[in-house]
Structure 1
Amino acid sequence: MKSALIAEDHPVVRSMIKLVLKGEGFKRIYEACRGDKVLTLIREHQPDVVLLDLGLPGVAGLEVMDRIKTEKMRCRVVVFTSLEAQFYQDRCMRAGAVAYVCKSKDLDDLKAAVNCVMVGYTYFAQIPSSSVSMGELQRSEKQLIDRLSNRELTILQYLARGSKNLEIAEIMHLSYKTVSTYKTRLTLKLNVNSSVHLRDFALRNHLI
């Protein structure tokens, strides 16, 4: 009996995904609206596939994938997100995802991705050449982003959304000092000098 876990914080989107999964023959469907609930549900129910949004509250999607990989959990991760593939797809592949689908695509793409991964294949978007799709500034900034670890990118996203260091520390189970160190490291790696510029950088590169 096919089973799935939907990790998505928007109820309407969860309902939409559930309809797709039911149409594809899934009988056991579980739901998580926060990233910090995902691993508990995977351990409890051992779903065949996890439909994962990257922008989850609690623990972000990239961090969730890192933890799944670290704990060697047997589940196929399909990323279903509004974040653009050209900035996130390669990173998700390295983190262990077997499919990447943008929410802006037709639902047939989600169906195709689920069916592909269930029979052992992967499903990723074909990304246009960066020389065609990006300007010089964006290309150089993407190279900086690509050098960030998943944890650095996750902390950048939290900072860009306005989260304080203490909030991030509590969410990610890190010390306040560690988050402060990451923040300093990010400003150096991305050549910015304030939280405002970090946010501008994230917005300009579609990271939030």
Structure 2
Amino acid sequence: MKDNITICLIDDHQLVREGIKLIVDQTKNMEVIYEFECISSFKKAEIKNVDIVLLDLTLADSQGVASINEVKKKLSNTPILILTMHHESQFGVRAMQAGAKGYLTKDNASSELIYAIKKILNGKKYISSNFSELLIATNFDKHQGPLHNQLSKREFSIMLLLASGKSPTEIGYELNISIKTVSTYRARLLRKLDIQNNTEITRYCLDNSLII
């Protein structure tokens, strides 16, 4: 691990960013050198020599694992630690599958943040004991936990886009797939979630705090 650790922080709440910086500032040789309130401003910025990204999953212009994908496009070799208000059962499994190296809820940040950062920069992954149990259950029985854990990565992405009000045409354009393919994935996720239409998709996502 490097002697001087540099951090990029992406969170849309200023008070949260200030709190995180306060925790980091109390640690020797660790500094937040970039901070952004949304993915759009992050994408526009020129970023160099950052060791880790702390990423919220609920941003004004990006929701869920889509944020991870955007960060990885720009900083493909930089580890990402998810720092979020969402419980592990909501986004944890998806976040790790999407390439995050750790998942930390904000209510545990004051006690676990520095440990999580150092563990990840030592080449390991950070997960809480509760999340560890969830991962074991998910690996051995995909029917454990919320129904959306049964969805494929593509089905999950399309579910979130439909829940946000986007049409199949808009989704097809965004994901570079045909409208027919979007419809096929939609039919599969409806069956797996045991729901009937887009209104119920939105309700499911709201009930499970997958969108706000």
TM-score (structure 1 length as normaliser): 0.74
Choose from 37, 40, 49 the match for 1:33. 37
Instruction: Tell whether 2:125 aligns with 1:111.
Output: no
CA contact (8 A) 1:59 1:171 kept: no
How far 1:57 moved relative to its partner? 2.7
Choose from 44, 47, 50 the match for 1:47. 50
How far 1:174 moved relative to its partner? 5.5
SS of residue paired to 1:127: helix
Could you say if the C-alpha distance between residues 10 and 28 of structure 1 is closer, same or farther in structure 2, counting changes exceeding 3 Å?
closer
Instruction: Tell whether 2:157 aligns with 1:163.
Output: no
CA contact (8 A) 1:168 1:179 kept: no
Looking at structure 1, the residues matched to 174 and 24 of structure 2 have their Cα atoms a distance apart, in angstroms, of 30
Looking at structure 1, the residues matched to 19 and 181 of structure 2 have their Cα atoms a distance apart, in angstroms, of 36
The amino acid of 2:111's aligned partner reads D
How far 1:85 moved relative to its partner? 0.8
The amino acid of 1:107's aligned partner reads S
> Which has the larger displacement, 4-13 or 60-69?
60-69
SS of residue paired to 1:45: coil
The amino acid of 2:123's aligned partner reads G
> Which has the larger displacement, 89-98 or 48-57?
89-98
SS of residue paired to 1:4: strand
Over residues 146-196 of structure 1, what are the superposed CA-to-partner deviations in whole Å (9 max), with x where a residue is unaligned? Answer: 232344324433443x53438964995658947963545532442211223
Aligned equivalent of 1:196:
199
CA contact (8 A) 1:18 1:29 kept: no
Could you say if the C-alpha distance between residues 172 and 105 of structure 1 is closer, same or farther in structure 2, counting changes exceeding 3 Å?
farther
TM-score (structure 2 length as normaliser): 0.73
List alignment gaps of at least 5 residues for structure 1: 134-138
Looking at structure 2, the residues matched to 36 and 178 of structure 1 have their Cα atoms a distance apart, in angstroms, of 30
> Which has the larger displacement, 150-159 or 109-118?
150-159
Aligned equivalent of 2:98:
95
User: Identity of counterpart residues, as a percentage?
Assistant: 25
Could you say if the C-alpha distance between residues 23 and 151 of structure 1 is closer, same or farther in structure 2, counting changes exceeding 3 Å?
farther
SS of residue paired to 2:108: coil
Aligned equivalent of 2:22:
19
Choose from 5, 14, 39 the match for 2:8. 5
Q: How many residues align?
A: 198
Could you say if the C-alpha distance between residues 29 and 61 of structure 1 is closer, same or farther in structure 2, counting changes exceeding 3 Å?
farther
Looking at structure 2, the residues matched to 198 and 6 of structure 1 have their Cα atoms a distance apart, in angstroms, of 31
